Amino acid sequence: NAGVTQTPKFQVLKTGQSMTLQCAQDMNHEYMSWYRQDPGMGLRLIHYSVGAGITDQGEVPNGYNVSRSTTEDFPLRLLSAAPSQTSVYFCASRGSTAGTDTQYFGPGTRLTVL
Amino acid sequence: AQSVTQLGSHVSVSEGALVLLRCNYSSSVPPYLFWYVQYPNQGLQLLLKYTTGATLVKGINGFEAEFKKSETSFHLTKPSAHMSDAAEYFCAVSEPSGYSTLTFGKGTMLLVSP
Segment A18-32 mean pLDDT: 94
Segment A18-43 mean pLDDT: 94
> Residue A98: what pLDDT?
65
Residue of A41, A48, A104 with shortest CB distance to B101: A48
Those of residues 51-70 in B touching chain A at CB distance below 8 A are: 51
The phi, psi pair for B60, rounded to 5°, reads: -80, 160
Segment A36-53 mean pLDDT: 93
Residues of B in contact with A48 (CB under 8 A): 99, 101
Q: How confident is the model at residue A71 (pLDDT cuts 50, 70, 90)?
A: very high
Residues B107 and A42 sit within 8 Å (Cβ to Cβ): yes
Is it the case that residue A33 has pLDDT exceeding 70?
yes
A49: nearest CA partner in chain B = B99
Residues of B in contact with A30 (CB under 8 A): 99
Is it the case that residue B9 has pLDDT exceeding 90?
yes
Segment B107-112 mean pLDDT: 96
Question: CA of B3 to nearest chain A CA: how many angstroms apart?
Answer: 12
> Residue B71: what pLDDT?
92
Largest CA distance in chain A: 44
Q: Tell me which residue of A110, A114, A108, A113 sits closest to A4, measured CA to CA.
A: A108
d(CA A33, CA A101): 13
Percent of chain B residues past pLDDT 90, beyond the cut: 75
> Residue B85: what pLDDT?
96
B99 and A31 in contact by Cβ < 8 A? yes
Is it the case that residue A14 has pLDDT exceeding 70?
yes
Q: Tell me which residue of A45, A60, A57, A38 sits closest to A91, measured CA to CA.
A: A45
> Residue A10: what pLDDT?
96
Residues of B in contact with A102 (CB under 8 A): 34, 46, 49
B99 and A58 in contact by Cβ < 8 A? no
> Residue B97: what pLDDT?
66
Is it the case that residue B56 has pLDDT exceeding 80?
yes
B31: nearest CA partner in chain A = A101
Percent of chain B residues past pLDDT 70, beyond the cut: 96
Q: How confident is the model at residue B2 (pLDDT cuts 50, 70, 90)?
A: confident
Q: Does A58 touch chain B (CB under 8 A)?
A: yes
> Residue B98: what pLDDT?
61
Residues of B in contact with A50 (CB under 8 A): 99
Residue of A33, A90, A101 with shortest CB distance to B51: A101
> Residue B77: what pLDDT?
98
Residues in chain A: 114
Segment B18-44 mean pLDDT: 91
With a CB cutoff of 8 Å and minimum separation 6, the contacts of A99 are none
Q: How confident is the model at residue B54 (pLDDT cuts 50, 70, 90)?
A: confident
Task: Look over chain A and give the mean of its residue pLDDT values, rounded to a whole number.
Answer: 93
More confident residue, B23 or A40: B23
Is it the case that residue B102 has pLDDT exceeding 90?
no
Task: Identify any residues that bridge with B3 across adjacent strands, giving them in sequence order.
Answer: B26
Residues of A in contact with B107 (CB under 8 A): 40, 42
